[in-house]
């Protein structure tokens, strides 16, 4: 097994931890990645947009943190398996996984939704997270305190008209994550969900194009909850954390 990666002079609540964050090129994923790095973790950042990942990496390094960039389209699910194998070869384990990547798709009546667009949303928001669990579970089991955090949305728990594949995929994700939590309950892994609430993010702006900017908190404003659940001292398990009530 590879030796644990240890940043130089690590400090913070996540000092020396290895953390994978999906959808990390912008928005909430970028904010979580930067916060984890500031807390002493070495962050592995994945997203489709290389330029966005590099910009996040620049900010992390400027602040004294460390990161590994992995350009990855989560729809290419076979590459998720390869990611797991590559991480094992380099690090031997994962301490933290934050499954943040998501796509909104088209909002509108289900009866008029395009099958290809429906399949795309379900592939990114649900199927990719199933494949991610398969890939990282063996790595989390190698950690002394594996932590998995999945980003969900209240529209999956309180159905509203016209939210289509996005809401359905988030509802499926809630069930998937709770099942996984039950399956690892007797291990050192702790699995939880976070609903950050409305944020000033790309998905929010796409869903509500007429809404004024800066109506809602910035992604960086809600990262405390992620640090708390990623902390090796945390005992929370199978919890849904509502950041904004």
SS3 73: coil
- CA angle, residues 53, 195, 104, in degrees to nearest 5: 60
Confirm if 155 and 170 have CB atoms less than 8 A apart.
yes
Which position among 112, 130, 166, 180 bears the catalytic label? 166
What is the Cα–Cα distance from 230 to 13, expressed in whole angstroms? 9
CB 123 within 8 A of CB 71: no
Nearest-CA neighbor of 199 among 30, 73, 45?
A: 30
CB atoms within 10 A of CB 44: 25
Instruction: In whole angstroms, give the CA distance from residue 134 to residue 132.
Output: 5
147's enclosing H/E stretch is strand 147-151
Q: Do 79 and 2 meet the contact criterion of CB atoms below 8 Å apart?
A: no
Q: Map residue 94 onto helix, strand or coil.
A: coil
Determine whether 88 is an active site residue.
Answer: no
**Whole-angstrom Cα distance, residue 111 to residue 88?**
44
- Annotated catalytic sites, by residue? 166
């Amino acid at each position: 097994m590879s030796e644990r990666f240890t940043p130089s002079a690590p400090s913070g609540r996540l000092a020396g931890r290895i953390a994978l964050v999906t959808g990390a090129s912008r928005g909430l994923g970028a904010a979580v990645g930067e916060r984890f790095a500031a807390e002493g973790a070495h962050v592995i950042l994945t997203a489709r947009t290389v330029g966005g990942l590099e910009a996040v990496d620049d900010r992390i390094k400027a602040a004294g943190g460390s990161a590994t960039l992995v350009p990855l389209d989560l729809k290419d699910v076979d590459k998720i398996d390869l990611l797991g194998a590559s991480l094992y070869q380099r690090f031997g384990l994962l301490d933290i996984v934050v499954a943040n990547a998501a796509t909104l798709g088209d909002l509108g009546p289900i009866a008029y939704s395009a099958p290809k667009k429906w399949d795309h949303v379900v592939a990114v928001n649900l199927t990719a997270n199933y494949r991610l669990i398969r890939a990282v579970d063996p790595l989390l089991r190698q950690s002394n305190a594996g932590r998995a955090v999945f980003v969900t949305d209240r529209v999956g728990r309180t159905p509203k008209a016209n939210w289509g594949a996005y809401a359905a995929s988030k509802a499926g994700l809630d069930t998937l994550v709770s099942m996984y939590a039950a399956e690892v309950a007797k291990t050192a892994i702790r699995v939880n969900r976070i609903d950050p609430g409305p944020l000033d993010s790309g998905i929010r702006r796409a869903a509500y194009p007429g809404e004024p900017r800066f109506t809602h908190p910035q992604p960086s404003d809600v990262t405390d909850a992620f640090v708390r659940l990623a902390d090796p001292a945390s005992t929370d398990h199978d919890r849904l954390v509502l950041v904004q009530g």
